[in-house]
Amino acid sequence: MTEKIITVVSVQLPIDEKLKIQKHRLFPKNQDEKELEKSGRRIAIVTGIHGDELEGQFVCYELCRRIKENSALLSGIVDIYPAMNPFGIDNISRGIPAFDLDMNRIFPGNDNGDMNEYIASQIVNDIEGTELCIDIHASNIFLTEVPQVRINELHKDVLLPYALKSNVDFIWVYGASTVLESTFAYSLNTRNVKTLVVEMGVGMRITPEYGNQLVDGIFSLMKELGIWQGDVSSVRKPVVSNDASGKDVCYLNAPCSGIFIKEKNHGSMVKKGDVIGKIIQPLSGELLSLIKAEEDGWLFTIREYPIVEEGSLMGRILKGDRL
Amino acid sequence: MKEETLYEIKGLYRDDFRIRGFRFGSGEKSVCVIGSMRGNEYQQVFSCSHLIERLKALEEKGRIREGKEILVIPCANPYSMNVKKRFWTIDNTDINRMFPGYNLGETTQRIADGIFKNVKDYKIGIQFASFYMSGNFVPQVRMMKTGRENTELASQFGLPYVVLHNPRPFDTATLNYNWQIWETNAFSIYTTSTSAINKKSADSAVDAILNFLSKQEIIDYKGHEGYISRVVESKEFVNVRSEKAGFFESFVEAGEKVRKNQLLAEITDPYTATVLQEIRSPENGIIAFAHNEILIYQNAAVFKIIKDIDS
């Protein structure tokens, strides 16, 4: 197997430092890299667009470790991009710190734009031509999610067959929105690079169990694409929600500010009226609100970060009749 | 003048979050002016405070026209301003990316909804806006090209420029865009600065608004007539970019007239003071935007120039 660390884009910073986006490329020994690129046997694993979402870090490591363990079985190109937003990862910040900018709102970037737009465009240029791309997120620091793939309804027909083989628990097909047209995944999907967005776990933490589950799914997809010749685990059958109308999911938003104490874990089946958690007021010692399920269903998101203010999202339930 | 709380959320350990409105006159919802939505928009609050001062004096003299109502909201985000944070305190979301809002959604969606419910029925909407990049502007009225923009009306502010720009995906969630979609004539006014107070620029913006209100027969006021505005599209701006990163020193200011090849700024090596790049003007024109921070990144827009019509 041949492997190399490649700098995708490098920009000089003001004070004696370069900002680099790097990838790790692995491909079979003695095979022509350009020919492999043309063959469609190429997958890209991308993470770290939001600097506080770290679940993908373990996936990058574990994928690489397992490939190296049986490198003779590799039959295509695997490109691993572990840190799309190195400033954010270093600063424990979701966005790009010096610019207070959400990197996932500047794609596809601009070759002639400012530093961040330029970086975004170079990343897109580098990934173009890839058969399949997996963009790994970890919700945010507030919410924990079951492993899931989210698909814009516009790209459902192309992406769903791949999502079904990715070994996640849930596939959420959501309605199109103009604001989301500047995301990494939307930009690549419109350039005919099939891109799956994975959300799993929680921000600032790593859940190895979920990481291993997704790596199994990535091997299953690599097998499908002819990039991996080894045996792969069978994948789980996910719940699929075709939710373009936005009616499948019940949102639990905080009715008041306070401290949220969860009483159900994500992944729990709940009945209408079940207590999901409570909001308390430590200063007065009051119970401000009991948060109850408004529907029977599957609690696929739960709030992890205890501080809530009026409107804060505390959970999402996939309605029972959609299961 | 009637002062009222337009929207509030109960705080946990902080005082309640409140958005205050100042109402002048009564009757038809004629004009709504909104100041800051981000925590660093001091100039925008300052400009509103001076507008409130002037409108109060005009109202006391009976110079708000019969049947016309004006609403001024100086600050839609005191929580962020008080802790010197640009975006929303807990989750760093931007209220001006949440319009038209959603009353059952997350906190900033609810705030946007709370604002929009109060402002959406006005015939004219004016926002003191700021740019996502740090820098100073030549005073201008900015409008999105939604097909509903009215440049003739915008010229009545008498500011030097009316700038039109095509909305990008994220613009569709701004107040200005949604105002236009809900059939309010919406204008964004850029004064010179954002996080620094520029009194002269604030005063001229307030004068521009009062002149505009006078021409719209909402108030009786006779002030400085202002400029005959030039309408330009933002894509016509000549972008001048940094080729190097380092310390940035500018020799010109926003609003200044410059000649082709004039030295506008230098970028120097922070360790050796060596000049890394001399930035010269590619055209004769006016500096519409000027970067105003010490550090400069590679390929940043340091100046935007409006070319002279004759050049």
Q: How far is B60 from chain A (nearest CA, A)?
A: 39
Greatest alpha-carbon span in chain B: 66
Res B132: pLDDT: 79
Q: Is A101 on the interface with B (CB under 8 A)?
A: yes
Query: A56 with A99, same domain?
Result: yes
Nearest to B110 among A181, A251, A311 (CB): A311
* Contacts with A50 from chain B: Cβ below 8 Å: none
A150 and A255 in one domain? no
* Residue B238 contacts A where some CB pair is shorter than 8 Å: no
Residue A107: Cβ-neighbour burial (10 angstroms; 0-12, 13-18, 19+): buried
Three-state DSSP string of chain A: CEEEEEEEEEEEECCCEEEEEEEEEEECCCCCHHHHHHHCCEEEEEECCCCCCCHHHHHHHHHHHHHHHCHHHECCEEEEECCCCHHHHHHCCCCEHHHCECHHHCCCCCCCCCHHHHHHHHHHHHHCCCCEEEEEECCCCCEEEEEEEEEEHHHHHHHHHHHCCCCCCEEEEECCCHHHHHCHHHHHHHCCCEEEEEEEECCCCCCHHHHHHHHHHHHHHHHHCCCECCCCCCCCCCEEEEECCCCCEEEEECCCCEEEEECCCCCEEECCCCEEEEEEECCCCEEEEEEECCCCEEEEEEECCCEECCCCEEEEEEEHHHC
How far apart (Å, rounded) are the C-alpha atoms in residues A244 and A247?
Answer: 8
**Boundary (domain end) residue, out of A243, A264, A284:** A243
User: Do A52 and A115 lie in a common domain?
Assistant: yes
Task: Find the residue in A nearest to B244 (Cα).
Answer: A12
CA–CA distance, B8 with B132 (Å, rounded to integer) = 27
Length of chain A equals 323
**Angstrom distance (rounded) from CA B20 to CA B4:** 6
Report yes or no: B178 at the A interface, CB cutoff 8 Å: no
B172 interaction partners in chain A (CB closer than 8 Å): 178-179
Residue A161 and residue A54 share a domain: yes
H or E stretch at B46: helix B42-60
Chosen from A15, A91, A114 to mutate, greatest number of chain B CBs within 10 A: A114
**Are both A239 and A302 inside the same structural domain?**
no
**Is residue A207 domain-shared with residue A263, that is, in the same domain?**
no
Is A309's CB within 8 Å of B12's CB? Answer: yes
Predicted pLDDT of residue B311:
60
Whether residue B299 and residue A113 make contact (CB cut-off 8 A), yes or no, is yes
Residues A219 and A85 in one domain: yes
Cα–Cα distance measured from residue B44 to residue B80, given in angstroms and rounded to the nearest whole number? 14
Judging contacts by C-beta atoms under 8 Å, the chain A residues touching residue B132 are 99, 101
Residue A313: count of CB within 10 angstroms of its CB:
20
Tell me, what CATH number does A16's domain have? Answer: 3.40.630.10
SS3 call for B78: helix
CB within 8 Å: B168 and A180: no
Put simply, the answer to whether B132 touches A101 (Cβ < 8 Å) is: yes
- C-alpha closest to that of B155 among B230, B51, B237: B230
Beta carbons of B299 and A15 less than 8 Å apart: no
Residue of B80, B93, B106, B235 to mutate for A, most A C-beta atoms under 10 A: B106
Cα separation, B185 vs B206, in Å, equals 18
Residue pair B218/B151 in contact by the 8 Å Cβ criterion: no
Q: Do A187 and A117 sit in the same domain of this protein?
A: yes
Between chains, do B12 and A307 touch, taking CB under 8 Å as contact? yes
Residue A286 at interface with chain B, using a CB cutoff of 8 Å: no
Domain shared by A259 and A236, yes or no: no
For an interface test with B, the pick among A122, A249, A257 (most B C-beta atoms closer than 10 Å) comes out as: A257
Residues of A in contact with B92 (CB under 8 A): 94-95, 100
Alpha-carbon torsion angle A190, B91, A296, A170, nearest 10: 30
B310 pLDDT higher than 80: no
Q: Tell me the residue ranges of DSSP E strands in B27-67.
A: 28-36
Number of alpha helices (DSSP H) and beta strands (DSSP E) in chain B: 6, 18
> Last residue of some domain: A243, A278, A296?
A243
Give B 26-45 residues with CB within 8 A of chain A. none
Here the tokens at position A254 are: 């905080």
Count how many pairs of residues, chain A against chain B, have C-beta atoms within 8 Å.
93
Looking at the complex, report in whole angstroms how far the Cα of residue A123 sits from the nearest Cα belonging to chain B. Answer: 16
- B36, B75 in Cβ contact below 8 A? yes
Residue B305 and residue A50: Cα distance in Å, rounded? 34
pLDDT of residue B30: 98
Interface residue A256 vs chain B (CB under 8 A): yes
Residue at a domain's end among A209, A243, A277? A243
Distance of CA B303 to the CA centre of its chain: 18
The count of other CB atoms within 10 Å of the CB of residue A286 is 11
Residue pLDDT, tens place only, B131-154? 878 899 999 999 988 888 889 999
Hey, is the C-beta of A284 within 8 angstroms of any chain B C-beta?
A: no
The phi, psi pair for B60, rounded to 5°, reads -65, -25
Q: For residues A281 and A258, is the Cβ–Cβ distance under 8 A?
A: yes
CB contact under 8 A, A14 and B270: yes
Residues of B with Cβ-Cβ distance to A13 under 8 angstroms = 245, 297-298
Cβ distance of B9 and A114 shorter than 8 Å: no
Identify which of B106, B244, B297 has the shortest CB distance to residue A312. B106
Over residues B19-40, the mean pLDDT reads 97
Question: Could you give the domains of chain B?
Answer: 2-233 (3.40.630.10), 237-307 (2.40.50.100)
Domain hosting residue A258, numbered range: 249-322
Amino acid at B155: S
Its ipTM equals 0.90
Q: Touching check for B107 and chain A: CB below 8 Å?
A: yes
The number of beta carbons lying within 10 Å of the beta carbon of residue A69 is 9
Provide the β-strand partners of residue A285: none
A179 with B170: Cβ contact below 8 A: yes
CB contacts of A113 in chain B (<8 Å) are: 299
Question: Consecutive sets of 10 residues in chain A, 323 residues long: mean pLDDT of each?
Answer: 97 96 97 93 98 98 98 98 97 93 95 93 97 97 98 97 98 90 96 98 98 98 98 97 93 98 97 98 98 97 98 96 80
**Residue B234 token pair:** 């933002």
User: Which chain B residues touch A98 with a CB distance below 8 Å?
Assistant: 297
Q: How many domains does chain A have?
A: 2
DSSP code of residue B61 = T
Q: What is the CATH number of the domain that holds A315?
A: 2.40.50.100
B102: nearest CA partner in chain A: A311
**pLDDT digit string, tens, across residues B251-309:** 999 999 999 999 999 999 999 999 999 999 999 999 999 999 999 999 999 999 999 98
Q: A278 and A160 share a domain?
A: no
Give the per-residue pLDDT at B244.
97
Global pTM reads 0.93
A42 and A10 in a common domain? yes
Q: Tens digits of per-residue pLDDT, B196-248?
A: 999 999 999 999 999 999 999 999 998 877 889 999 999 999 999 999 999 99
Q: Please check whether residues A166 and A218 belong to one and the same domain.
A: yes
Which residues from A are below 8 Å from B297, CB to CB?
A: 11, 13-14, 98, 114-115
pLDDT tens for each residue of B45-95? 999 999 999 999 999 999 999 999 999 999 999 999 999 999 999 999 999
Interatomic CA distance for residues B55 and A304, integer angstroms? 48
> What's the CA dihedral at B250, B254, B259, B262 to 10 degrees?
0
Q: CB A101 to CB B13 under 8 A?
A: no
Distance between alpha carbon A31 and the CA centroid of its chain, in Å?
A: 31
CA atoms within 13 A on the CB side of B148: 16
Which residue does chain B place closest to A140, by CA atoms?
A: B91
